Amino acid sequence: MKTPRNVSGTELIQLLSVKGYRLVHQTGSHAKLKTIANGKSHTITVPLHDPIHIGTFRKILKDVADHLQIPISKLVEELFYP
Burial of 18 (0-12, 13-18, 19+ CB in 10 A): exposed
Domains of the chain: 9-81 (3.30.920)
User: pLDDT at position 15, please?
Assistant: 96
How is the beta sheet containing 40-47 ordered, strand by strand?
A: 22-27, 30-37, 40-47
Res. 2: pLDDT tops 90: no
In tens, the pLDDT along 15-53 reads: 999 999 999 999 999 999 999 987 899 999 999 999 999
Question: Could you tell me the pTM of the whole model?
Answer: 0.91
Cα 61 from Cα 72, distance rounded (Å): 7
Amino acid residing at 79:
L
Instruction: Please report the pLDDT score of residue 3 as a whole number.
Output: 85
